[in-house]
């Protein structure tokens, strides 16, 4: 299979090389393997595919070859990243909050700080989405209904203890309501339930609202309205103080030399700055982010504190354990142990 893949990869590379002109003797000198820790067809794959198209333009005409290593919601690939060749020719997708929550909740085979992420290049804001023929026109309608009927509002989302699940919990807390979260296997299955009115609404991502015309988005968890959904208010506009979503980035094995790490980070930044790439990503509902190596420590510290606090509130972790700076000593310890997964 590897040879087969190489032949096909080579066919693509040589075609692109012809167009790209002579290559320089600096990184990258050959094609780079880009491992997606999920199966094909998901948003991690789609956004990597978008980068794939532009990669040769900013990387000496070299191609990226995308490989999939799914399993355990990404944890299987992340647990193996640091055992891979640290020469810059193996890079891997990395996701927040997945890489924060998984090691927090259970032994995922890796620690958050093991992952050398060099760039978070975009995020998809959380969003509340209903089917087009739903009776709910605004987030306030939905909240009012949930207040009158505690527990009756059902949210479809992808997986348990996931970003979607966390958003539903936050919405419950911030709006003072009780709703039911129904986990599905993947966003596609959740969208099917939303569009078919199997659940009241969906706790999902803004990309769903952009890419599925049969849906209506009630609110997005971004700082400003999205260019792809100009009529949809943010949570803040709707009176709920919540911004968040899934960030996707690129990690390398930790032993990779610093200059190569920096080079990978620069290539990703350059792709992010390409007007065609920007346009394609924004049309798809993705929000580009400039979180390169310099911005990384601050970003990670902020996200860690945020998700640790939420995970403690949900009782997923013991308060105060690990390197948390969150002031969550007042969370109920009994509740935490009760729903520990492992």
Map residues 191-210 to x or -, x wherever contact with other proteins holds by CB under 8 A: xxx-xxxxx-----------
Report how far residue 177's alpha carbon sits from residue 195's, in angstroms, rounded to the nearest whole number. 23
**Residue 70 sits in the site that holds other proteins (CB under 8 A):** yes
**Residue 185 sits in the site that holds other proteins (CB under 8 A):** yes
**Residue 1 sits in the site that holds other proteins (CB under 8 A):** yes
Q: Phi first, then psi: what are they for 245, rounded to 5°?
A: 165, -165
**Residue 211 sits in the site that holds other proteins (CB under 8 A):** yes
Report how far residue 115's alpha carbon sits from residue 247's, in angstroms, rounded to the nearest whole number. 14
Q: What is the C-alpha R_g of the chain?
A: 21
Other residues' Cβ atoms within 10 Å of the Cβ of residue 51: 23
Could you tell me which of 71, 118, 72, 112 has the C-alpha nearest to residue 93? 118
Cβ contact 197:129 at 8 Å: no
Map residues 106-135 to x or -, x wherever contact with other proteins holds by CB under 8 A: xxxx--------------------------
**Residue 10 sits in the site that holds other proteins (CB under 8 A):** no
Report how far residue 125's alpha carbon sits from residue 145's, in angstroms, rounded to the nearest whole number. 24
Nearer to other proteins, 71 or 309 (CB): 71
Stretch that binds other proteins, among 3-11, 168-176, 262-270, 317-325 (CB under 8 A): 3-11
Q: Where are the alpha helices (DSSP H) in 59-162?
A: 75-80, 98-105, 139-148
**Residue 147 sits in the site that holds other proteins (CB under 8 A):** no
The gap between the terminal CA atoms of the chain, to the nearest Å, is 37
**Residue 30 sits in the site that holds other proteins (CB under 8 A):** no
**Residue 85 sits in the site that holds other proteins (CB under 8 A):** no
**Residue 24 sits in the site that holds other proteins (CB under 8 A):** no
Could you tell me which of 216, 213, 212 has the C-alpha nearest to residue 233? 216
**Segment 262 to 301, residues that bind other proteins, using CB under 8 A:** 280, 283-284
- Angle between the N-to-C axes of helices 43-58 and 258-273, in degrees from 0 to 180, rounded to the nearest 10: 100
Q: Which of helix, strand or coil describes residue 336? A: helix
Encoding tokens for residue 247?
Answer: 């960030």
**Residue 99 sits in the site that holds other proteins (CB under 8 A):** no
**Residue 212 sits in the site that holds other proteins (CB under 8 A):** yes
Encoding tokens for residue 91?
Answer: 């890079």
Stretch that binds other proteins, among 134-142, 183-191, 237-245, 324-332 (CB under 8 A): 183-191
Minimum CB distance to other proteins, residue 8 (Å):
5
Point out which residues bind other proteins (CB under 8 A): 1, 4-5, 8-9, 11-12, 15, 35, 39-42, 45-46, 49-50, 52-53, 63, 66-73, 75-76, 79, 105-109, 151-154, 159-161, 180-185, 188-189, 191-193, 195-199, 211-214, 280, 283-284, 341-342
């Amino acid at each position: 299979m590897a040879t087969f893949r190489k032949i096909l990869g080579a066919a693509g590379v040589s075609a692109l090389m012809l167009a790209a002109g002579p290559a320089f003797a600096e990184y990258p000198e050959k094609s780079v393997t880009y491992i997606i820790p999920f199966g094909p067809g998901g948003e991690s794959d789609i956004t990597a595919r978008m980068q794939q198209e532009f990669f040769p333009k900013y990387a000496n005409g070299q191609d990226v070859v995308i490989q999939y290593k799914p399993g355990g919601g990404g944890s299987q690939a992340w647990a193996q990243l640091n055992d891979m060749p640290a020469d810059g020719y193996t890079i891997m997708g990395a996701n927040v909050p997945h890489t924060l929550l998984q090691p927090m909740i259970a032994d995922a085979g890796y620690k958050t700080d093991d992952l050398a992420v060099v760039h978070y290049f975009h995020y998809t804001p959380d969003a509340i989405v209903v089917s087009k023929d739903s009776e709910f026109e605004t987030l306030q309608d939905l909240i009012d209904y949930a207040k009158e009927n505690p527990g009756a509002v059902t949210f479809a989302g992808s997986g348990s203890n996931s970003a979607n699940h966390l958003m539903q919990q936050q919405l419950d807390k911030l709006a003072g309501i009780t709703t039911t979260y129904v986990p599905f296997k993947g966003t596609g299955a959740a969208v099917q339930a939303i569009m078919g009115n199997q659940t009241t609404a969906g706790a999902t991502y803004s990309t769903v609202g952009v890419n599925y015309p049969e849906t209506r988005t009630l609110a997005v968890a971004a700082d400003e309205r999205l260019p792809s959904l100009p009529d949809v208010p943010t949570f803040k506009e709707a009176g709920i103080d919540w911004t968040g979503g899934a960030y996707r980035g690129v990690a390398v094995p930790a032993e990779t030399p610093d200059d190569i790490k920096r080079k990978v980070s620069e290539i990703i930044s350059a792709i992010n700055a390409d007007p065609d790439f920007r346009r394609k990503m924004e049309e798809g509902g993705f929000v580009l982010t400039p979180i390169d190596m310099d911005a990384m420590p601050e970003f990670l510290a902020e996200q860690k504190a945020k998700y640790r606090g939420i995970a403690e509130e949900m009782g997923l972790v013991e308060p105060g354990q690990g390197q948390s700076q969150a002031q969550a000593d007042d969370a109920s310890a009994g509740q935490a142990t009760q729903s520990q997964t492992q």
